[in-house]
Structure 1
């Protein structure tokens, strides 16, 4: 049958796979290519067809035009059914026109979306599955939502398992998925694990400084944040610096997630000697406990004193923070009282409070500040520390202490926190 495209633009043939991409049929292992899924009921022969057409779908002011059938569109989508019921045709039009405004990336896959409504089949591919999912969510086509989410989950799982058959999404896209509210908990769990496994790639990208406060806090609480502790410390302070974070409670809630016993004792010496955390009492206690650990970790009688999350090496996966558990703990309205919650963890020498993912909340307010002017300044004491004798190796049963490949960055992080302590000291009471 004749296809209707008076706009002059040619949309991709949705019945065919993407160009130069081999077919992967239902049931086969997902590769780097596309995959076709199909449901039972089909009106494929009527897709963009003149026969029985009773409505014109106008996407983005004539970018794409499709001949549609109200009964089929309304049957598959209640959103479209409502829009079609409210549609009125003018005397100059032989058929009513439904004008649709879509994002550019969504308009380019609208033909595949519409083809699924008629046929129940769609070609899924990594490059456009996300805008296709957005269309399915917008018009509440639930079978397509399920197909897209299953495909996205499979890609993310392959990224975690380091499968060579799937290239996966970029770090920017994974962050957007995690911080959005369009995806299932399963997909957000997988995104969380991918970001933990690829934490080094994330902090090296421009996307790191654009991450929300909640995402940064969640990652620092994870057992599998894949980086040395000094790298985690410096990346956290770099994020605070770039976002000009000046709220004492928000700064402290990030710093308590650093596992200070895993830092090199040279760094701990500087932190304690210079009183970096004097206005962050919970963090100061954690640093003091870390110093005690390095002093007495070889004493058999002291082993029971050094247990908990603070003394646990980041080696195993942890599930994504539960969005239904303690959702009020990290909300902007209650962060001012977070010190009371942290006292419990400080006394047990471990910060065990679960991370919280709040899908509908806004990130904490970013406050302008001048506390970063001396960030790049290195103290003379730290130069002398670099000449100190290295710490002896830890016994096998204790957390290992990683080397310090970025001494300058650790010093910068310490200076940032010290400046922040001075500026926020008046609010410590």
Structure 2
């Protein structure tokens, strides 16, 4: 901030040590040198106080009204300083009023935002840290931005580790953060990792059909997408159907991210036999390579033929460590089995840090997603696919599902892709 001094007045700069006198370096013995001391200034006692009040803050036309002090507000926020400088003074009997329009969720935490400006302290909680961060960004209160950023990052890191008791943000909120492009790259990257770790929760939620194409495509590319390949295939086709995706290029761009060698060979047989991908040459080639993989994967001379992303097993590292069910989990023969422990219940815990309190509740129950209904259960194809993957053993706290809907979804996904292929026509046409 630029200092003003009347013409002709020259005083020693109080921010600098006396001339020709060195400062005391920390750890040295004090002799004749100068030493800078500093106290933490706080205007907490003036928060919403009549004392020295010279402006009124009116949030959302009277929803909340605060007594303010121009100097303090302008000192902490250049945005507020500009607004206050442009504010017309009232008559001698009244204070000027600064009208502020805030989103409903932001207005509810405006008192905490204002309290931080006066005191430098704030209580953070997952329920309102995002609107508090929005206010800090809007008015460019950088210390508060840093505090909120650090706190949001810690919550997301705790969510990636499913053994942590912190409930964190909802799937909807995490998708909004990732797709909104309003947060730092670091927070967006953490959201992406959370969505990969919670992929099963995402596809079982009501938010899944409303996810953007870019988010769906990004998740399907990830090595850490925490689901078996048949689940990824059926969820991708469900998303395409719910969004009535008709663009052939977009459909193919999603399908090429499925790792077909990780599907069970009987599923691959069904896909190839019915010519599901005949109008998607790139995908059809991937399926044929997957068939060759299952035929020749045990031949030593062929090992160099099966390298690349398609043959990279996804890292299902979110399940319970050292569980017996995890043995052989990543083999193509086992990838059609359900993840045993992703949605297991975790006893409620409390995560504490300075000026922060997070309380947990039990995670929501798992909801199974029924994708399509165009394949009759009585058909031979349905009965044949039923034998592909037997029902996996369930963890004690997990709801038991029949394997029939799972394989039924795989066949239905194939039917959807085949129908989409016919509707979009051959690429050469």
State if a TM-score over 0.5 links the two structures. yes
SS in 2 for 1:149: helix
The aligned residue for residue 32 of structure 1 is none
Q: Do the aligned residues in 2 keep the contact of 1:234 with 1:410 (CA within 8 Å)?
A: yes
How far has the Cα of 1:385 moved from its partner?
3.4
The aligned residue for residue 267 of structure 2 is 267
Tell me the alpha carbon deviations over residues 82-124 of structure 1, each in whole angstroms, 9 at most, x when there is no partner: 2112211344861111111111211111011001111111111
**Superposed, which structure 2 residues align to 1:90-109 within 5 Å?**
90-91=90-91, 94-109=94-109
Whole-angstrom distance in 1 between the partners of 2:388 and 2:163:
43
Q: Do the aligned residues in 2 keep the contact of 1:280 with 1:428 (CA within 8 Å)?
A: no
Q: Do the aligned residues in 2 keep the contact of 1:230 with 1:404 (CA within 8 Å)?
A: no
Q: 1:305 to 1:51 in 2, by over 3 A?
A: same
Q: Which runs of 5+ in 1 are unaligned?
A: 1-38, 318-373, 392-402
The aligned residue for residue 205 of structure 1 is 205
Q: Give 2:374's match in structure 1, choosing from 369, 377, 380.
A: 377
State the TM-score, normalizing by the size of structure 1: 0.71
SS in 2 for 1:56: strand
Tell me the alpha carbon deviations over residues 46-79 of structure 1, each in whole angstroms, 9 at most, x when there is no partner: 1111122111000111111001111211121121
Tell me the alpha carbon deviations over residues 292-341 of structure 1, each in whole angstroms, 9 at most, x when there is no partner: 11111122211111111101110178xxxxxxxxxxxxxxxxxxxxxxxx
Whole-angstrom distance in 2 between the partners of 1:93 and 1:423:
74
The root-mean-square deviation of aligned C-alpha atoms, in Å, is: 2.3
The aligned residue for residue 238 of structure 2 is 238
SS in 1 for 2:66: strand
The aligned residue for residue 333 of structure 1 is none
Q: 1:414 to 1:98 in 2, by over 3 A?
A: same
Q: 1:54 to 1:427 in 2, by over 3 A?
A: farther
Q: Which runs of 5+ in 2 are unaligned?
A: 1-38, 318-370, 391-402
The aligned residue for residue 59 of structure 2 is 59
Q: Do the aligned residues in 1 keep the contact of 2:382 with 2:408 (CA within 8 Å)?
A: no
State the TM-score, normalizing by the size of structure 2: 0.71
Whole-angstrom distance in 1 between the partners of 2:404 and 2:230:
7
Q: How many matched pairs?
A: 324
Q: Do the aligned residues in 2 keep the contact of 1:375 with 1:415 (CA within 8 Å)?
A: no
The aligned residue for residue 83 of structure 2 is 83
Q: 1:49 to 1:381 in 2, by over 3 A?
A: same
Whole-angstrom distance in 1 between the partners of 2:125 and 2:140:
20
Q: Which has the larger radius of gyration?
A: 2
Tell me the alpha carbon deviations over residues 349-389 of structure 1, each in whole angstroms, 9 at most, x when there is no partner: xxxxxxxxxxxxxxxxxxxxxxxxx9532285623633778
Whole-angstrom distance in 1 between the partners of 2:387 and 2:300:
26
How far has the Cα of 1:273 moved from its partner?
1.3
